[in-house]
Amino acid sequence: MLNNNMEKALNTQVNAEMYSAYLYLSMSAYFQAKSLGGFASWMRVQAQEEMVHAMKLYDFINERGGRVILELIEAPPTEWESPLATMEAVYEHEQKVTGLINELVELALEKHDHATNIFLQWFVSEQVEEEDSANDVVEKIKLMGDARGGLFMLDRELGQRVFTPPAATSK
């Protein structure tokens, strides 16, 4: 059974993950409007991954006898200065999510909730990957500087990313 504080914190994280998906869909729409379909596709995959994260938390709350409470999802921004500014915002957002996950881990440890702590370790590892992936794109854009052709090459590369649903887990 989940502690009430842990249940509330996990519900807050469900909302944060859904906001992340909403944010990345907004970024996808921004890139689509800028004729950068590869960036748009990359962001759509990112949004799908965030929904998987939200649903993992949703299922875990239910499995532990908790109650999922869905709250209003804040509207994301819709405009950014440039592709670089957009991807820097992704990186900063992922760093923020890492902080939120770390706070959940701290709460689980404080409450001696070992099952939740073990569950959250997947998210800890996932955030390392999320930050690295976003930072990689940021650094590539910075390296190309004013070489516009580089942006289109990167757009083509990012368009190759596809969503791979996680393997089903047995209960």
Mean pLDDT for the stretch of residues 158-164:
92
Q: Is the pLDDT of residue 169 over 70?
A: no
d(CA 84, CA 170): 41
Does a structural domain hold residue 11? yes
Q: For the domain that residue 108 is a member of, what is the CATH number?
A: 1.20.1260.10
How high is the pLDDT of residue 165?
A: 82
Does a structural domain hold residue 169? no
- Alpha carbons within 13 A on the beta-carbon side of 66: 22
How high is the pLDDT of residue 125?
A: 96
Does a structural domain hold residue 163? no
Q: pLDDT grade, residue 167 (50/70/90)?
A: confident
pLDDT tens profile 83-139: 999 999 999 999 999 999 999 999 999 999 999 999 999 999 999 999 999 999 999
DSSP 159: T
Give the percent of the chain with pLDDT over 90: 91
Domain count, the chain: 1
Rounded to 5 degrees, φ, ψ at 14 are -55, -45
Q: Containing domain of residue 24, as a range?
A: 4-158
Does a structural domain hold residue 104? yes
* Burial (CB count <10 Å: 0-12, 13-18, 19+), residue 153: middle
In 103-159, at which residue ranges do the beta strands (DSSP E only) sit?
A: none
- Average pLDDT of the chain, as a whole number: 95
How high is the pLDDT of residue 144?
A: 94
Does a structural domain hold residue 130? yes
d(CA 67, CA 95): 28
Q: pLDDT grade, residue 147 (50/70/90)?
A: confident
Mean pLDDT for the stretch of residues 151-166:
92
* Tokens describing residue 156: 């083509």
Does a structural domain hold residue 170? no
- Alpha carbons within 13 A on the beta-carbon side of 46: 30
Does a structural domain hold residue 167? no
